[in-house]
Amino acid sequence: MATVITEECINCGACEPECPNTAIYEGGAQWELNGATTPAIKDDLYYIVPDKCTECVGFFDQEQCAAVCPVDCCIPDPNIPETDEVLIERARVLHPDQTFGAEYPSRFRKG
């Protein structure tokens, strides 16, 4: 599942710099992928672009936005269920210059 920022967000911005995929944007900000700019998903709150979110799979064993969120509003989106395999493939596409070995970090492999 892509991570989503819920309405409880206080717009502190702590999450944005933590994302390894630059998938988090301030409300109202346009987002970019593959050179194309797209209108904001939300106008009033920070948001996560599902096409860029890997739930930090390939980078960390926990979503970094959730780890720093002071109000616990970064959660897996129940409307967009995705598997570990889908998320690591997205990481590979987003970061073609990086190698993700067989033991890449993933919240799916946690404890």
**Both tokens of residue 90?**
């997205």
pLDDT of residue 110: 65
Q: What are the start-end ranges of the H helices in 7-111?
A: 64-68, 84-94
| pLDDT at residue 49 greater than cutoff 60 | yes
| pLDDT at residue 2 greater than cutoff 90 | no
Rounded CA separation 67/64 (Å)? 5
Coil, strand or helix: which one is 87?
A: helix
Whole-prediction pTM: 0.93
Rounded CA separation 96/35 (Å)? 15
Torsion, Cα of 92, 65, 74, 8 (10° steps): -150
Q: How many domains does the chain have?
A: 1
Mean pLDDT (whole number) for 21-34? 97
pLDDT of residue 85: 95
pLDDT in tens, 54-111: 999 999 999 999 999 999 999 999 898 899 999 999 999 999 999 999 999 999 886 5
- Greatest Cα pair distance in the chain: 39
Structural domain harbouring 89: 3-109
CATH of the domain at 47: 3.30.70.20
